[in-house]
Amino acid sequence: MGILFRNVRLVDPASGTDRITDLSVREGLVDDIGTELAQEGFEVIDGTGKILAPGLIDMHVHLREPGFEHKETILTGMRAAAAGGFTRIAAMPNTSPALDTPETLERVRDRASAGMVHVHPIGALSFGLEGREPTDLDALKNAGACAFSDDGMPVPDSAMMYRAMEWAHRLDRIVVDHCEDHSLSRGGVMNRGANSEKLGLPGIPKAAEDIMTARDILLAREYNLPVHICHVSTRTSVELIRQAKADGVRVTGEAAPHHFSLTDDALLNGNTNARVSPPLREEEDREAVLAGLADGTLDIIATDHAPHTAEEKNRPLDQAPNGMVGLETAVGLVFTRLIQTGVMGLLEAIGAMTWKPAQIFGLPGGRIAKGESADLVLIDPELIWKVDPTEFHSKGSNSPFIGMTLKGRPIMTVIGGRKAMENNNVFF
């Protein structure tokens, strides 16, 4: 039996569509789009007041497997993704062993076949993410790498970064960089500023991010190569990317929901769930990230989903690991912080989570069209809900948003025409 969404608000940024209509799904594909479609042979879903969008795409997820299955597994990460409305996710390579050989990438793809969410591994740029010996990007691409990165670690050697960008471009892939100058950030716990001084903790200066962002932009400019900047968190980095784009440099950037929602005030009570890398910054930086999303300087929204165990996060602030979960709160934060406040329009915000990442990374999906795979998310924009970690499908509960009330939530995820999630019940 197929699925018929009746009287739904269809939002497809790829085609600029935003209208009330019906949409039918049959045999894994979008069967028809129009008004008053025939109901026979379909499960009818009343979409009145609901938004039907392309399945969301998250290009920055830490699935932890192999090596850290006590934090997350590929299967639990996929379940969290489906619960959050994501139908495609990219797995970062900082596992153990790192995703630096074809065998490790193939293992991820094999494990992902047990679930429904499309998982795209990102291959490591250097063996062990040590920034010394480059990996075989050809072999990693052939094993399924959708991009290349040492995320979690920067690439300190500029010559190596340039060679990686050039090599990846020849393979029709893109380098994704974690911009951090370790000589400035090493030993830091949180953003360097009034709050770090108040807590007596070593701070991470904004320049640690800005210097590497500028380095990557200069390489992209010098050699006319594309580069993607991860989790932009500072005002200066946003300004650098904005100016570079105006100058025709092939740079793209992403924003994480925690960076446009929170500041380093969230750490004042010692909440280790708010410790992340790059750190939460100051209000001027949060506002700059919002402005970067609003004007398209920052192209996509990515969660940087990074689960840890409760034991790890229960350590003192200066000993707890960086990272927070994000797959299951992303839509609520986007609707609450961006759409309902008027920072972004609905088409633009959904586009930053669907069509734009598909374009930048050369992935299928990210659009709704007759005859194409039915990867869809149904969102209730009026649903008011409280973030409760006992409802998470991720192994991690390390969210700084616990107890927060949000408005807007996915209520159904469809992948290949099959329900993957309905009302937070995941079916794989």
Q: Where are the beta strands (DSSP E) in 275-427?
A: 300-301, 376-386, 405-415, 418-422, 425-426
Q: Do residues 382 and 392 make contact, with C-beta atoms less than 8 angstroms apart?
A: no
Asked if residues 1 and 43 have their Cβ atoms less than 8 Å apart, the reply is: yes
Is the bond into 102 cis (omega within 30 degrees of 0)?
Answer: no
The CA-atom distances, in angstroms, between 277 and each of 242, 256, 281, 347, 382 are 22, 11, 10, 29, 32
What is the C-alpha separation between 206 and 216, in angstroms, rounded?
16
Pairwise CA distance, residues 404 & 385, whole Å = 8
Catalytic residue among 210, 285, 304, 380: 304
Q: Has 304 been annotated as catalytic? A: yes
DSSP conformation class of 16: T
Q: Are strands 203-204 and 190-191 parallel, antiparallel or unpaired?
A: parallel
Phi, psi angles (nearest 5°) of residue 142 = -65, -25
CA distance 309 to 224: 42
DSSP calls for 212-272: HHHHHHHHHHHHT--EEE-S---HHHHHHHHHHHHTT--EEEEE-HHHHH--GGGGTT--G
User: Cα 419 from chain centroid?
Assistant: 22
How many CB atoms neighbour CB 224 within 10 A? Answer: 10
H-helix segments, 271-341: 283-294, 310-313, 330-333
Name the residues annotated as catalytic: 304
